[in-house]
Structure 1
Amino acid sequence: MPHVEKGMAVGLFGGSFNPVHEGHALVGEIALMRLGLSQLWWMVTPGNPLKSRTELRPLAERIAQCRHVASDRRIKVTGFEAALGLRYTADVLKTIRTRNPGVHFVWIMGADNLKSFHRWERWQEIARTFPIAVVDRPGSTLSYLSSQMAKTFDYARIDEDDAPRLARLSPPRWTFIHGPRSSLSSTALREAAKPGRDL
């Protein structure tokens, strides 16, 4: 895990980054700016239990690509989940909390993931481990109103104007952050890269 100091506000942005693209960089930029973070960890996962592994690029390759794209020095690219043999986000967050007492973490996800968040293993436990910042993505702006997570934790939502305080609030707390959106997606880029497709 990247080095942190007590009192820091640290964002956690996990995913397969398969491949990484400017949309990831935009989410990172928005999170750093709106949440007042000391660091943002890009946690490159060995694989997503909800997705097929058939098109998954090697972890080392994805980490190297992320480091190339992540230009802000506050972004720390890491693949510690694989080293620790962790599979589910709930276990990853529990491990982070145990190993980093006194650090204020906030889980960051794109709004496109909010729609299916209730399918994640122990999703309510995730919401109760760290506050969550949901960053707007094209076609997903209204997901914070219709998703099961948003309905279940409606009482815990704070106004996005209060986003700079989010990391230091006790979970469950979450907010939806509007901002510039990139239409790029890893799925679309993989499809475009298939033989016979125009990039």
Structure 2
Amino acid sequence: MRHGFPYLRPGMTVGLLGGSFDPAHMGHVQISRAALAQFGLDRVWWLVSPGNPLKRHQPAPLEQRMAAARAIMRHPNIHISDAEAQLGTRYTAQTLRHLRRLYPGVRFVWLMGADNLAQFHRWRDWRQILDTVPVGVMARPGDRISARLSPAARIYAPYRLKGSESRLLAHAQCPAWCFVNVPMVDASSSAIRARGEWSASQERRAKTGADDHS
């Protein structure tokens, strides 16, 4: 096993929730806990990305976002990971290829909010993602209709599992995806940044760090 990566035994089911987590919030916490239950997963990893190729806004430093994520998400089966930075990958399809090589026999499931499904067809190698790992889509407030009408949802409609079959997703033959409705906290990283709460938190963290080294 590569240094710095947690042990996973063959046969385990692991959900991967990618994003900038700039910052992580209770919506991420709730979607992760729901994914463990809804899809019958053994683990969920938060893949905190170095940056998002689709966004102009560049996030806060990775170490700050990792620290904030660990502070808000405390669960024995949810792991906060900087795998993309360690692997040197920029796109989801690349990350998945590396992880599948590192963990033969582990069943990975890509997790996303319904808002991401709505623009999934813009992701690099998005078909490859759907063709190689099951995808679990978690509905967020206001995103259900646009997600279900998205190009990816229409093209892969024959491979969609019913919500009642969600616990079968991790072991389904690809392509396979499942859309589930879960109650969620109506929170977003962009709203937190707009209110200035994240920048204030970074300033406090920076001041604390400076005090510790003074």
User: TM-score normalised by the shorter chain: which range applies?
Assistant: over 0.9
Equivalent positions of 1:102-181 (< 5 A) are: 102-181=105-184
Q: Which residue of 2 aligns with 1:197?
A: none
Question: In 1, are the aligned partners of 2:136 and 2:178 still within 8 Å (CA)?
Answer: yes
Alpha-carbon distance in structure 2 between the residues aligned to 1:167 and 1:186? 28
User: Is 1:183 the counterpart of 2:192 in the alignment?
Assistant: no
1:44-55 matches, cutoff 5 A:
44-54=48-58
User: 2:90 corresponds to which residue?
Assistant: 87
Q: 1:94–1:129: 8 Å Cα contact kept in structure 2?
A: no
Judge conservation of contact 2:118–2:148 (CA < 8 Å) in 1. Answer: no
Pick which of 119-128 and 135-144 moved more: 135-144
Q: How many residues align?
A: 194
Matched, 1:9 2:21: no
| TM-score for both structures, normalised by structure 2 | 0.87
Aligned to 1:25: 29
Q: Measure, in 1, the Cα distance between the counterparts of 2:123 and 2:178.
A: 19
Query: Residue type of the partner of 1:52?
Result: R
Please give the alpha-carbon distance, in whole angstroms, between the structure 2 residues aligned to 1:83 and 1:7.
24
Verify: 1:40 aligned to 2:54, yes or no. no
Query: 1:53, CA displacement in angstroms?
Result: 3.9
Q: CA deviation at 1:188?
A: 1.1
1:63 matched to 2:66: yes
Q: Tell me the amino acid that sits aligned with residue 166 of structure 1.
A: L
Q: What is the percent sequence identity of the aligned residues? A: 42
Q: CA deviation at 1:144?
A: 3.6
Give the Å deviation of 1:99. 1.2
2: CA distance, partners of 1:116 / 1:144: 8
Deviation at 1:179, TM superposition (A): 1.3
RMSD: 1.4
1:89-148 Cα offsets, whole Å, 9 max, x none, are 010011111111111111000111111111111111111120000001111012342011
**Gap regions ≥5 residues in structure 2:** 198-214
2:108 partner amino acid: F
The question of whether the paired residues in 2 share the 8 Å contact of 1:15 and 1:45 is answered with yes
Q: Deviations over 1:138-161 (max 9, x none)?
A: 110123420111001001000011
Aligned to 2:99: 96
SS at match of 1:128: helix
Q: Is the 8 A contact 1:144 1:176 kept in 2?
A: no
* 1:2 Cα deviation after fit: 2.5
Determine if the alignment matches structure 1 residue 77 to structure 2 residue 80: yes
Look up the SS of the partner of 1:121 in the other structure: coil
CA distance in 1, matches of 2:10, 2:136: 21
Bigger-Rg structure (1/2): 2
Off by >3 Å, runs of 4+ in structure 1 = none
Q: Is the 8 A contact 1:112 1:137 kept in 2?
A: yes
